[in-house]
Structure 1
Amino acid sequence: MLRVLGNSTVTLPRYLNLEPSLAMDWLEISWDELHIKERVGAGSFGTVHRAEWHGSVATMKRVRHPNVVLFMGAVTRRPHLSIVMEYLPRGSLYRLIHSLASGEILDQRRRLRMALDVAKGLNYLHNLSPPIVHWDLKSPNLLVDRNLTVKVCDFGLSRFKANTFISSKSVAGTAEWMAPEFLRGEPSNEKSDVYSFGVILWELLTLQQPWSGLGPAQVVGAVAFQNRRLVIPQNVSQMLSSLMESCWADDPSQRPSFASIVGWLKKLLKSPVQFIQMGGS
């Protein structure tokens, strides 16, 4: 199945330009070839529908990653400007985390494996040439397949990192997951995604919503100007507490790379110890 995002003002993802040698007609999909089914969501860029294309999902001959949602092609003729991506039936990680059955579906090691999925996807994006900074990394922008594999999606705010830093003054995202320097409108780099990952890791470990009870403006004040961070429960292991704290360092240069985060999480998954002590979430 495919995921179709359609709107008359939609902007195609910037990562489509990674291989300029590809002929654009090879990526072109005719609207008439899509069998549009039910609507599965909506956002600021348009609505999302489930669809079939030639009865199945075609494999693209591009470099891709198992933890990044696969781009299939695009409808570039008006009035049906659309992006066509693979369909992941379990929906967003946010919805899965905050569902009533999350505690039954997501045991401790499954949650840690999901965090590893996210880190692998971002490590891939950050190591492209030029690197891609997501800038809106949050659990609603992570999709989950039938096997509970997590994939990074929604590159609406993504930018190529041409220099050391990129301006964050002209875009907006979701304050609960955003780095303090980004919220202050300061120049930022890929380490802003690392901060956001720390919030996602906190969500997976606590099964709670970040900054619950605070409005967006209050979150901006707390994170960007009061140097506050989410409270890590005492029942979370010291190893994971240290990882989250390092992701949330106020100085972006002190935050780890996703390459090191991947190594850290792999090491933790090989450990026989519990990551969350009994009696916690």
Structure 2
Amino acid sequence: MAAPEPAPRRGREREREDESEDESDILEESPCGRWQKRREQEKIQTMFEQLVLVDHPNIVKLHKYWLDASEARARVIFITEYVSSGSLKQFLKKTKKNHKAMNARAWKRWCTQILSALSFLHACSPPIIHGNLTSDTIFIQHNGLIKIGSVWHRIFSNALPDDLRSPIRAEREELRNLHFFPPEYGEVADGTAVDIFSFGMCALEMAVLEIQANGDTRVTEEAITRARHSLSDPNMREFILSCLARDPSHRPSAHNLLFHRVLFEVHSLKLLAAHCFIQHQYLMPENVVEEKTKAVDLHAVLAEIPRPPRPPLQWRYSEVACLELDKFLEDVRNGIYPLMNFAAARPLGLPRVLAPPPEEAQKAKTPTPEPFDSETRKVIQMQCNLERSEDKARWHLTLLLVLEDRLHRQLTYDLLPTDSAQDLATELVHYGFVHEDDRTKLAAFLESTFLKYLGAQP
């Protein structure tokens, strides 16, 4: 019997290279050799840690996640905020079934909210590309608040090795959703223009309620053309056509679309005042709106227009319809009425970039876990009280914080002579009681409290 021919040298070398690459991807291994922590797991963990930092009123919030390797197939379990009324596609179908037309004002408000979220993502460095924006991944709350979900979709799929990406890729390439992706999809790397094309198709679907598909398969170009021609508003048609331009370089940015004449409007003084009120609400008592409303003199003059030589034109509080001010402030706080027309090209408060950290940062990272979880919720209201101890030797501080999810957190502390407002704020952030972004305003609030009670900062 002839001896088997030895494997070619190059083949053996490639096998050894593949083995060494596989070994280099193993970060940790159990003594028995059965359990291994690979580099893909670390990538996924890094991505989800960064996704938790994304905080925008029109993006579905990722609250918690954990890796479960207890079963044969490892999985990532994550908790997002609850969106009460389902997807945009479900809502549009229900609206059409009830023989209702889309309200133009609602369409504008929804487009503004979606573009607000896209402008936020695209302004990050590097830009965060959603890459899977459809009417199935846009959600709506019962109060009309729009949120885009599946922001993790593209990032998560890129973090996975090729052999694990197929379920995600198959979901994206489902026939009924292919019309949401631009002509260049699959031929060039995704850019922000991909999301603009997808948004344009969503805006068209919102305007006509449904783009008729060919049976249960994909939506044809003819169906899209018919839907465009059915639009009666020329500004709306031009707006959508600019998003659906075949050349990605001709599509406008999300930020510029917010200034398009079909969406742009001068904000009312009421809306500007509401945003200002919410930004500084932590300085006011919790029931300030109710108290101020009760204290209003209905016969007092609300506004006056001078008209010399004629008497001025006056409006009194009794002549103005009493609006549900609490509900309006809640809607503004939730992001239904964003002030994007005043925003810079790069929004403030961006999260750390959703991209893998540099090699140097990875090498410098230590395995020591953080001692405390960081607070992710912002403070919307603060109250502080100082009382003398019974022996009059020290001051006792009580701090009440109302977080954005309506959680009330009460903290107490005995002040030391060496304590400063800045030190206390830094300590509360360190121990996970307060969001990092609230450090400065908390320090200013504590300092004003110290001045009020003590006459000088302790």
Q: TM-score range by the shorter chain?
A: 0.5 to 0.7
Taking the TM superposition and a 5 Å limit, the aligned residue runs for 1:1-281 are 16-18=48-50, 62=53, 64-79=55-70, 81-99=76-94, 100-101=97-98, 103=100, 106-159=102-155, 171=169, 173=172, 174-182=177-185, 184-209=186-211, 211-213=213-215, 215-216=217-218, 219=220, 222=221, 229=225, 231-264=227-260, 265-267=262-264
AA aligned opposite 2:259: G
AA aligned opposite 1:68: I
Residues 215 and 263 (structure 1), Cα distance of their counterparts in 2 relative to 1, 3 Å cut: same
Question: Contact between 1:65 and 1:121, CA under 8 Å: does it hold in 2?
Answer: yes
AA aligned opposite 2:199: F
Question: Contact between 2:208 and 2:227, CA under 8 Å: does it hold in 1?
Answer: no
Deviation string 1:102-130 (CA, Å, 9 cap, x unpaired) is 727x5221122112111111111111122
TM-score (norm 2): 0.40
Question: Contact between 2:129 and 2:154, CA under 8 Å: does it hold in 1?
Answer: yes
Question: Contact between 2:131 and 2:190, CA under 8 Å: does it hold in 1?
Answer: no
Tell me how far apart the structure 2 counterparts of residues 75 and 17 of structure 1 sit (CA, whole Å). Answer: 10
Question: Contact between 1:203 and 1:210, CA under 8 Å: does it hold in 2?
Answer: no
Tell me how far apart the structure 2 counterparts of residues 201 and 156 of structure 1 sit (CA, whole Å). Answer: 22
Tell me how far apart the structure 1 counterparts of residues 67 and 215 of structure 2 sit (CA, whole Å). Answer: 42
AA aligned opposite 1:267: F
Question: Contact between 2:88 and 2:136, CA under 8 Å: does it hold in 1?
Answer: yes
SS at structure 2 position matched to 1:81: strand
Tell me how large the CA RMSD over aligned residues is.
3.3
Residues 108 and 158 (structure 1), Cα distance of their counterparts in 2 relative to 1, 3 Å cut: same
Residues 134 and 15 (structure 1), Cα distance of their counterparts in 2 relative to 1, 3 Å cut: farther
The answer for the alignment partner of 1:46 in structure 2 is: none
AA aligned opposite 2:198: S
Please report how far the alpha carbon of residue 253 of structure 1 lies from its aligned counterpart in structure 2 after TM superposition. 0.5
Question: Contact between 2:245 and 2:251, CA under 8 Å: does it hold in 1?
Answer: yes
Which protein, 1 or 2, shows the higher relative CO under an 8 Å CA cutoff with sep ≥ 6? 1
Tell me how far apart the structure 2 counterparts of residues 63 and 253 of structure 1 sit (CA, whole Å). Answer: 27
TM-score (norm 1): 0.62
Deviation string 1:74-122 (CA, Å, 9 cap, x unpaired) is 1323457311000011010110011124727x52211221121111111
Give unpaired runs (5+ residues) of structure 2.
1-40, 157-164, 268-458
Tell me how far apart the structure 2 counterparts of residues 236 and 175 of structure 1 sit (CA, whole Å). Answer: 26
The answer for the alignment partner of 1:274 in structure 2 is: none
Between the two proteins, the alignment pairs up a number of residues equal to 203
Tell me how far apart the structure 2 counterparts of residues 268 and 215 of structure 1 sit (CA, whole Å). Answer: 39
Question: Contact between 2:211 and 2:227, CA under 8 Å: does it hold in 1?
Answer: no
AA aligned opposite 1:237: D
Tell me how far apart the structure 2 counterparts of residues 159 and 76 of structure 1 sit (CA, whole Å). Answer: 17
Give unpaired runs (5+ residues) of structure 1.
1-8, 20-26, 28-61, 161-168, 271-281
Which structure shows the bigger proportion of residues in helix conformation?
2
SS at structure 2 position matched to 1:157: helix
